[in-house]
Structures are given as C-alpha cells and as structure tokens.
C-alpha cells in the first residue's frame, strides 16, 4: 500500500514596490478580487502599508501594498517612503512595478539601489501595457532593467484589465516556500473596518478635489455604531484639512462637493459592509497636522521604527 505524503502548505509575504501612481494598489485589488486598497489617478494615494491576504488551496500570499517611493521633502512624506522601504526587510519576494514611459527614471534608479541591498527575489512588473500603443518599446526597457538587477522574472501586465496577471501569479506561487497559514482563510486584510471606511472617504476626496487639497486631508472615523434591528451602520467621520480655504473647497458651493464625496463614499462603504449605512461627514481644520508628530501618529502615519 502506498502512503500519500501530505501536501506541504506554502506561504510568503510579497511587497508591492514602485514609484507613485504606477498601479500597486490596483494590482493588489485585482489579485484579491476586492477593493482593499484605495486608488486614484494622483500620486501618493496610499499612505500606509496595506496588507492584502490571498488564501488558496495549498498556499497563502500576504501582499504588502506600499506608498509610492518619491523624493520626500518633509516629515510626512519621509514617513511614507520609510513605510514603503521597510517592507523590503519583511518580504519573501518583491514585485517592483514600473510603467512606460517612466515618469521619473531617477526614482526607479533609487528603488533599484535599495533592491540591490537585499537578497530577496524580485519580479519586475511592467504595468499599464493596455495603454502602451507601441509594444516594441518593451524589449529595450526589459534589457535595460535586466542589466541593472538580476530579476527572478519580468512580467508585463495590465493591473487594470487583468492581462498578464495570471502569469505573474504563477511566478509568485513558484517562489513560495513551505510555511504557515499566517491568517485565517476568510481574512482579506489586517485592517479594521473603521480604517477601510476612512480610506474610502479619503479616496473620494482624492478623486474629487484638486491641487493641494487631497494632500492636506486626513480622515478619522469618530462613530461606528451597528444598529442590528435596522440592518444599518451609523458612521460619523471627520475630514481634517489644514486651512480654512481648504475647508471651503471640500465643502464646495452650497455644500455640493461634500455631498458628492458623501454619496460616492456611502455607496462603496455599503458594498464593503454589506448593509445600509448612514454616513455623516464633518470638515474640521486641524492646523499643520502633517508637521506635528503627534497628529501624524494620531492619524496613523508613523515611521515603522516608531510604531
């Protein structure tokens, strides 16, 4: 009689690293088939390390979505970049995302420098190929990058439309080692519902407000009350801005902007929570919150070594 050897369970942490706006969060959401991480056509949308947990028969991948790496000019932006770079030390594999044309090649040089300091396998992911009319531009770019780092694989994808993402998943699974199931199989993220709700509101501000306003905004959830008999959750949130002028923009003429932020956020929050939601949003001026270490920490932005 032959005895079946029990199949080994594989797992690993995978960091999604790249310049701002390259599509890291869009890729995470595609892999998880859920909106775990907010996205917007503006740089520095993601501000925290966001875990996305994918559990399949035989393996678990814990993705770490990260803030885009950029030239940090102040304390707040340094926290974002530190948060992203710190994930390199925790990862079993790294997806380094780039796009064509490269908006800022020097940033990618800087990321390559950092990748050179670790032994972790790195997959070069060339994203947004759906938007690339001239596919002959791929090869020279791949050659250039292959000359700079010994990549485990190079995979062109469209995170938005799904092209190439199965191939990328196959490469990632091949890199997994025997390991524990870190999270229960029904967990998609380690973040609490309150955080996800605050992020969905921030996403709408990011998408609807312009210029400096999205960067001056933080969102806190002040009340989150389940009303089971009405199958409803009552949420009150505060959109913090730094100046009165920004408050006026977020509220908009006759409150139109805030109303639209609330309408779109509520739709997404109801999808996330699977019930009716009452959403009240207030706008408050919290002067210089990005400069003050206390308010930064209060809103959840702290360097990994200070956590």
Ligand X SMILES: Nc1nc2c(ncn2[C@@H]2O[C@H](COP(=O)(O)OP(=O)(O)OP(=O)(O)O)[C@@H](O)[C@H]2O)c(=O)[nH]1
Give the residue numbers of the binding site: 18-25, 65-69, 127-130
Q: Please state the closest distance from residue 38 (CB atom) to Mg ion, in A.
A: 7
Q: Are the beta carbons of 211 and 246 closer than 8 angstroms?
A: no
By CB under 6 A, name the one of 159, 175, 198, 261 that touches ligand X.
159
User: What track of x and - describes contact with ligand X for positions 217 through 256 (by CB under 6 A)?
Assistant: ----------------------------------------
Collapse the DSSP code of 135 into the 3-class scheme (helix H, G, I; strand E, B; otherwise coil) and give the result: helix
By CB under 6 A, name the one of 90, 106, 130, 226 that touches ligand X.
130
Measured from the CB atom, the residue of 25 and 165 that comes closer to Mg ion is 25
CA 301-199-270 angle, 5° bins: 155
Q: Is residue 40 a contact residue for ligand X (CB under 6 A)?
A: yes
Measured from the CB atom, the residue of 36 and 233 that comes closer to ligand X is 36
Q: Encoding tokens for residue 77?
A: 């932006």
The entry of Mg ion, ligand X, none that residue 179 binds, CB within 5 to 8 Å by partner kind: none
By CB under 5 A, name the one of 14, 15, 16, 25 that touches Mg ion.
25
Three state DSSP letters for 195-224? HHHHHHHHHHHHHHCCCCHHHHCEEEEEEE
Q: By CB under 6 A, which span of 37-45, 111-119, 173-181, 234-242 interacts with ligand X? A: 37-45
The entry of Mg ion, ligand X, none that residue 164 binds, CB within 5 to 8 Å by partner kind: none
Distance of CA 268 to the CA centre of its chain: 17
Q: Is residue 41 a contact residue for ligand X (CB under 6 A)?
A: yes
The entry of ligand X, Mg ion, none that residue 131 binds, CB within 5 to 8 Å by partner kind: ligand X
Q: What single-letter DSSP state applies at residue 248? A: H
By CB under 5 A, name the one of 11, 29, 46, 158 that touches Mg ion.
46
**How many residues make contact with ligand X (CB under 6 A)?**
24
Dist CA 201 CA 222 (whole Å):
13
Dist CA 65 CA 14 (whole Å):
9
Q: Are the beta carbons of 239 and 298 closer than 8 angstroms?
A: no
Q: What single-letter DSSP state applies at residue 28? A: H
Provide the angle, in degrees to the nearest 10, between the axes of the packed helices 75-90 and 105-115.
Answer: 40
By CB under 6 A, name the one of 8, 118, 131, 248 that touches ligand X.
131
Phi, psi of 10 (to 5 degrees): -115, 150
Residues 54-113 that bind ligand X (CB under 6 A): 67-68
By CB under 6 A, name the one of 46, 108, 120, 286 that touches ligand X.
46
Q: What single-letter DSSP state applies at residue 9? A: P
Dist CA 222 CA 224 (whole Å):
7
Q: Encoding tokens for residue 40?
A: 């917007």
Q: Which of 281, 260, 279 is nearest to 269 (CA)?
A: 279
By CB under 6 A, name the one of 11, 55, 127, 246 that touches ligand X.
127
* List of residues contacting Mg ion (CB under 5 A): 24-25, 45-46
* List of residues contacting ligand X (CB under 6 A): 18, 20-26, 39-41, 43-46, 67-68, 127-128, 130-131, 158-160
């Amino acid at each position: 009689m032959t005895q079946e050897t029990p199949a080994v369970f594989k797992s690993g942490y995978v960091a999604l690293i790249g310049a701002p706006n390259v599509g890291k969060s869009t890729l995470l959401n595609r892999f998880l088939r859920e909106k775990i991480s907010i996205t917007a056509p503006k740089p520095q949308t993601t501000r925290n390390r966001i875990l996305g947990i994918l559990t399949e028969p035989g393996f678990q991948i814990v993705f770490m979505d990260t803030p885009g790496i950029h030239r940090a000019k102040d304390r707040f932006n340094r926290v974002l970049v530190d948060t992203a770079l710190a994930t390199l030390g925790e990862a079993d594999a790294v997806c380094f995302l780039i796009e064509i044309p490269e908006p800022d090649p020097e940033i990618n040089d800087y990321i390559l420098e950092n990748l050179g300091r670790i032994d972790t396998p790195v997959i070069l992911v060339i994203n947004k190929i759906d938007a690339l009319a001239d596919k002959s531009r791929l090869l020279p770019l791949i050659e250039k990058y292959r000359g700079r780092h010994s990549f485990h694989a190079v995979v062109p994808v469209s995170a938005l439309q799904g092209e190439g993402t199965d191939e990328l998943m196959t490469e990632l699974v091949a890199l997994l080692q025997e390991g524990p199931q870190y999270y229960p199989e029904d967990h998609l993220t380690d973040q609490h519902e309150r955080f996800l709700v605050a992020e969905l509101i921030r996403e709408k501000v990011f998408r609807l407000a312009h210029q400096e306003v999205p960067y001056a905004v933080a969102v806190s959830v002040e009340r989150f009350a389940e009303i089971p008999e009405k199958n409803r959750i009552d949420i009150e949130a505060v959109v913090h801005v730094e100046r009165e002028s920004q408050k006026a923009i977020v509220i908009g003429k006759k409150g139109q902007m805030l109303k639209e932020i609330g309408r779109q956020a509520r739709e997404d929050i109801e999808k996330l929570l699977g019930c009716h939601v009452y959403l009240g949003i207030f706008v408050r001026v919290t002067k210089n919150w990005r400069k003050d270490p206390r308010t930064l920490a209060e809103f959840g932005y702290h360097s990994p070594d200070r956590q």
